[in-house]
């Protein structure tokens, strides 16, 4: 019986949050997603003998995990928790009221009634009243329940000590906080070993991204953004440092080898941003395959965007559901193009469904409709479903556990479909990849780079970076200071996330904190080179545009 192959590629990413001036992480998202999502997805996959999936770990995330678990670096949230009630100042309590309700309230509060009770007090009477009227007990309960909320509900059931804390529900003590901190770090320390074991068992393929998650095509030449933004203004200074792109790839390979024991074959280019030059460099650095978006394929082939019929079947399935082989400069690299609609169903649509079983059945029906269309065609076909593996789950009931279980159960039972990794498909399939000699320059967002360049604030951030990058070259010739440290922070400032948050269309509560961190990285370049940072780095980009 002919089978349809399905490649899930889950993307785990956090930018580098460590503040070089205060030597702590300014936000806790790496730690919180480790306890809620990274361990959870791997554990769920481990329960099945016949599922194979792919997981991407961005090196900046791996580095932070190491710094948490081995080097003792903490975030501000964890610092407050560790001080416990005996050490909580008025400022700590205000910090907790402001930050310890940062959860999906619609999904979490039904599971933790006391947490909901505390929030309702804030809604009814306000933060200032809570700060005046709450005893230390309310703050202890808030601190514990916030961190329980950021642990997957299945883990609540598996860990007896954690289950006891969940069942207790309220009236938490400082001793309970100590237990909770131990549980948090125990889960974090399991993340790497469980993935390493699954890779050894051939249940997953691990891949990686450029080190600090930069947009490689823009590092190579940010003025090339004009190909996708013909009428947009670009930064004043041109930024073109292909050697930086290579640094991010080479150092990503070093850290992934240190973490996993070997260098993965595949790469998730940051934001699925690609260009012909980018993929040529990746091929030269030993990357065997990458994943990007279906719109890039359509534009590469000079065809209209892919469309779906009423059954969810794409109009050109034989074109989308196969790998391509880019040959450029005498080297080759394979490209898998994701089905955007199927990926977005899991990432954005199914979280709205209350019934996880129904969502899983709907997904399987769409897969079967595609299978029916391709069943009699020659050769093997592979659907690539590639999406964020961390941020979608908090929007599902119970962190998505019912949906994942239902979907994984169905996939493991059916004989017409087989999950596979892109690396395994290249080795095991007899399908001959279609050869191309160029690829359209763009990302997963509308096949453009507009999310990271073109907006006045984004452009100014590029100009800040360009200025410091040129100064670094000049300071390097003097040979003063710690050039490795200076270069490290320069590379950290090249991460895509800082440009993501500047300007439109994205906004975050911490956007000014991210701005300060971006400028702190740039200032550190000068400090480690024994030079005085220029005064313009003291001015927030938000205050200049």
Are 291 and 317 contained in the same domain?
yes
1 pLDDT tier (thresholds 50, 70, 90) = low
- The CATH number for 198's domain is 3.20.110.20
Are 478 and 378 contained in the same domain?
no
Are 146 and 293 contained in the same domain?
no
Report the run of H or E that residue 355 belongs to, with start and end: none
How do beta strands 18-19 and 24-25 pair?
A: antiparallel
Residue 281 falls inside a structural domain: yes
Contact 454/232 with Cβ under 8 angstroms? yes
Report the run of H or E that residue 196 belongs to, with start and end: helix 174-200
Indicate the DSSP class of residue 204.
Answer: E
Q: Residues 500-515: pLDDT tens digits? A: 999 999 999 999 999 9
**Cα angle at 121 between 161 and 131, to 5 degrees?**
85
Picking from 402, 436, 470, the residue at the C-terminal end of a domain is 436
Contact 166/156 with Cβ under 8 angstroms? yes
Q: How many structural domains compose the chain?
A: 3
Are 167 and 303 contained in the same domain?
no
Query: Above 90 in pLDDT, residue 485?
Result: yes
Average pLDDT over all residues of the chain: 97
229 pLDDT tier (thresholds 50, 70, 90) = confident
Are 475 and 353 contained in the same domain?
no
Residue 451 falls inside a structural domain: no
Are 271 and 397 contained in the same domain?
yes
Contact 540/455 with Cβ under 8 angstroms? no
Residue 79 falls inside a structural domain: no
Query: Above 90 in pLDDT, residue 479?
Result: no
Query: Above 90 in pLDDT, residue 480?
Result: no
Are 61 and 96 contained in the same domain?
no
Q: Residues 510-544: pLDDT tens digits? A: 999 999 999 999 999 999 999 999 999 999 999 99
Where are the alpha helices (H) located in 375-400, listed in sequence order? none
The number of CA neighbours under 13 Å toward the Cβ of 323 is 28
Q: In the prediction, which pLDDT does 325 show?
A: 98
Average pLDDT over residues 455-470: 98
Picking from 407, 436, 465, the residue at the C-terminal end of a domain is 436
Are 38 and 103 contained in the same domain?
no
What distance, in Å, lies between the first and last C-alpha atoms of the chain?
Answer: 61
Residue 233 falls inside a structural domain: no
Q: In the prediction, which pLDDT does 430 show?
A: 85
pTM (whole model) above 0.95: yes
Locate tokens 């890779």: which residue? Answer: 199
| Domain region containing 509 | 456-543
Average pLDDT over residues 128-142: 98
Q: In the prediction, which pLDDT does 478 show?
A: 87
How do beta strands 324-328 and 289-293 pair?
A: unpaired
Q: Residues 214-228: pLDDT tens digits? A: 999 999 999 999 888
Judge if the upstream peptide bond of residue 442 is cis by omega within 30 degrees of 0. no
Give the Cα separation of 438 and 275 in Å (integer): 8
Give the Cα separation of 281 and 249 in Å (integer): 9
Are 289 and 426 contained in the same domain?
yes
Query: Above 90 in pLDDT, residue 248?
Result: yes
Query: Above 70 in pLDDT, residue 95?
Result: yes
Cβ within 8 Å of residue 361, ≥6 positions away: 406, 410
Residue 249 falls inside a structural domain: no
């Amino acid at each position: 019986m002919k089978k349809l192959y399905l490649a899930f590629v889950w993307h785990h990413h956090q930018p580098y949050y460590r503040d070089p001036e205060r030597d702590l992480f300014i936000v806790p998202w790496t730690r919180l997603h480790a306890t809620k999502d990274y361990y959870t997805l791997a554990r769920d996959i481990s329960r099945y003998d016949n599922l194979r999936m792919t997981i991407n770990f961005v090196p900046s995330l791996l580095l932070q995990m190491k710094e948490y678990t081995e080097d003792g670096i903490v975030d501000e949230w964890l610092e407050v928790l560790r001080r416990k009630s005996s050490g909580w100042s008025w400022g700590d309590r205000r910090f907790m009221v402001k930050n310890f309700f940062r959860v999906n309230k619609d999904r979490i509060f039904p599971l933790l009634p006391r947490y909901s009770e505390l929030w309702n007090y804030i809604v009814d009477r306000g933060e200032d009243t809570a700060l005046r009227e709450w005893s230390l007990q309310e703050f202890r309960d808030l601190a514990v329940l916030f961190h329980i909320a950021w642990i997957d509900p299945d883990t609540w059931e598996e860990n007896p000590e954690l289950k006891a804390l969940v069942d207790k529900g309220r009236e938490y003590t400082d001793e309970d906080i100590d237990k909770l901190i131990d549980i948090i770090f125990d889960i974090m320390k399991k993340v790497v070993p469980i993935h390493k074991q699954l890779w050894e068992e051939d249940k997953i393929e691990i891949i990686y991204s450029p080190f600090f998650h930069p947009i490689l095509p823009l590092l190579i030449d940010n003025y090339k953004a004009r190909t996708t933004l013909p009428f947009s203004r670009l930064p004043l200074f041109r930024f073109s440092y292909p050697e930086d792109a290579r640094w991010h790839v080479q150092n990503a390979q070093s850290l992934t080898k240190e973490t996993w024991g070997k260098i993965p074959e595949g790469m998730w280019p940051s934001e699925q941003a690609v260009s012909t030059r980018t993929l040529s460099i990746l091929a030269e650095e030993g990357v065997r395959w990458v994943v990007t978006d279906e719109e890039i394929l359509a534009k590469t082939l000079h065809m209209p965007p892919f469309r779906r019929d009423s059954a969810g079947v794409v109009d050109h399935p034989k074109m989308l559901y196969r790998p391509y082989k880019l040959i450029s400069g005498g080297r080759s690299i394979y490209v898998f193009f994701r089905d955007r609609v199927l990926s977005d169903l899991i990432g954005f649509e199914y979280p709205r469904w209350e019934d996880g079983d129904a969502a899983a059945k709907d997904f399987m029906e769409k897969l079967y409709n595609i299978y029916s269309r391709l069943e009699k065609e020659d050769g093997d076909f592979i659907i690539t479903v590639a999406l964020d593996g961390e941020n979608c789950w908090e929007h599902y009931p119970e962190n998505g556990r019912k949906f994942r279980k239902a979907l994984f159960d169905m996939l493991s039972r059916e004989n017409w479909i087989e999950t596979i990794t892109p690396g395994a498909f290249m080795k095991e399939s007899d399908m001959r990849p279609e050869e191309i000699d160029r690829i359209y320059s763009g990302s997963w967002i509308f096949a453009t780079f507009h999310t990271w360049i073109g907006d006045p604030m984004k452009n100014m951030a590029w100009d800040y970076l360009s200025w410091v990058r040129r100064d670094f070259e000049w300071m390097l010739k003097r040979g003063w200071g710690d050039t490795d440290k200076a270069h490290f922070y320069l590379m950290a400032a090249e991460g895509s996330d800082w440009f993501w948050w500047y300007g439109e269309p994205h906004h975050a509560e911490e956007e000014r904190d991210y701005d300060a961190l971006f400028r702190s990285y740039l200032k550190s370049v000068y400090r480690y080179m024994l030079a005085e940072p220029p005064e313009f780095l003291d001015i927030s980009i938000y205050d200049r545009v």
